[in-house]
Structure 1
Amino acid sequence: MKKGLLLVALILTAGLVNAQAFDGKGDQKLSIGANLQNNVNGITLAYDYGLGENISVGVVTGYALNLNNGLDADFTDRFELEGRFNANLGNVVNVSDNFDFYPGISLSLKNFGGHFGMRYFFSDGFGIFSEFGTTFAKFNSDALTPAEKIHNQFTVNIGAVFNL
């Protein structure tokens, strides 16, 4: 029995040691989490695909669920879809094989923006992420209504990330 427990502990430890945050070309990540903005809380879903050792592209979608302070918004204001480009620099900053840092740019239905995020993997398949994003240029150059500011302001995303 003791040998069996020891074997299971060694296998689990080896899995933790070999976790990779970004594997380069062909790497695939799926992230799901909470999206936090001024007067809004929602959900976010992201998919990233590795094109090279330090480059990935992806798609992100989000939906604002909770509107605060009397904010009223329809589906088009609540929904977001964007394509993005990331520079995965985990192997450059070299904190840990389980850690990835990725600055990037994005083009969405509402704006052109940038983000930087961090991922940490506890095993080959599961980790956590946090991401911060902002808008560089809005497609609507008029003064935005409070509803139009959804996904057009500083955002924070936190949640779980999975290797596919």
Structure 2
Amino acid sequence: MKKRLLLIALLLTAGLVNAQVFEGKGDQKFQIGANFQDNVNGIVLAYDYGLGENISVGIVTGYALNLSNGLSANFEDRFELEGRFNANLGSVLNISDNFDVYPGISLSLKNFGGHLGMRYFFSTGFGVFTEFGTTFAKYNSEALTPAEKINNQFTVNLGAVFNL
């Protein structure tokens, strides 16, 4: 009897852990995490909305909290807001129902760039993410000040993701 109860408990637990990362049209994700750049650490928030089977759009905002190596910056250099487009490839790559890879492009207040992100869900509502981003074109074509470089360089984001 104990073995049957244990087997049933394991099967139910396995069923709860199985989560599809991107469900297509109408899917909504919220991400909160840490942002790491050269001489800067900050916070990042993102929202993505599924438009189709493998396409989503979203909005991302961030703020540089810790500046190092004597770098100083005012609010407009620390703050970032961008819209983005993602190609959610988890179902195409078919690695796991819990794993998604999403390359994308973004248009921000300071630049045009791209990113490569990955999400892994532990349950239907909670997971972790990481993103690597870079700038393709900067709006300011002149030499950038150290403060202007804050959101115009390679970035790494790590954090938690939630299904809405």
Provide TM-score, normalisation by structure 1: 0.95
How far apart, CA to CA, are the structure 2 residues paired with 1:68 and 1:6? 53
Structure 1: gaps (5+ residues): none
How far apart, CA to CA, are the structure 2 residues paired with 1:70 and 1:4? 61
How far apart, CA to CA, are the structure 1 residues paired with 2:80 and 2:113? 13
How far apart, CA to CA, are the structure 2 residues paired with 1:75 and 1:5? 56
Give yes or no for the alignment of 1:12 onto 2:13: yes
Matches within 5 A, 1:97-136: 97-136=97-136
Matches within 5 A, 1:40-119: 40-119=40-119
Shift of 1:10: 3.3
| Percent of residue pairs bearing the same amino acid type | 78
How far apart, CA to CA, are the structure 2 residues paired with 1:62 and 1:8? 42
1:136 aligned partner, one-letter code: F
Q: Give the CA RMSD over aligned residues.
A: 1.4
Q: Structure 1 residue runs of 4+, over 4 Å off?
A: 1-9
Shift of 1:101: 0.3
Q: How many residue pairs get matched?
A: 163
2:13 aligned partner, one-letter code: L
How far apart, CA to CA, are the structure 2 residues paired with 1:35 and 1:56? 22
Shift of 1:12: 2.4
Structure 1, 75-84 or 1-10: larger mean CA deviation: 1-10
Give the secondary structure class of the aligned counterpart of 2:132. Answer: strand
Structure 2: gaps (5+ residues): none
Give yes or no for the alignment of 1:148 onto 2:154: no
